[in-house]
Amino acid sequence: MHIDCDRCEVRGRACSGCVITVLLGAPPEGVEWDENERAAIGVLAESGLVPPLRLVTPMPSRGWEETA
């Protein structure tokens, strides 16, 4: 999983409640987590030791075309 804070739709508003900020400080350029790391963070978040990942990425835009 690649976490790109620059692309997060809630950056700034949700940083203080995100595990990235808790573990690494200010939002970094990007973070890479493998499946084991994601699972470990999930366990810590579920137990209330760290906040969950708050990453919200933009949805790809659909090219809505008019039909005549």
pLDDT of residue 64: 59
Question: So what's the pLDDT on residue 49?
Answer: 86
pTM to 2 decimals? 0.53
pLDDT at 27: 64
Give residue limits of the domains in the chain.
Answer: 2-46
68 residues of the chain, pLDDT tens digit each? 788 888 888 888 888 888 888 888 776 667 788 889 889 988 988 999 888 887 777 777 666 555 54
- Would you say how long the chain is, in residues? 68
* pLDDT of amino acid 36: 92
Helix/strand/coil (H, E, C) string of 9-66?
A: CCCCCCHHHCHHHHHHCCCCCCEECCHHHHHHHHHHHHCCCCCCCCCCCCCCCCCCCC
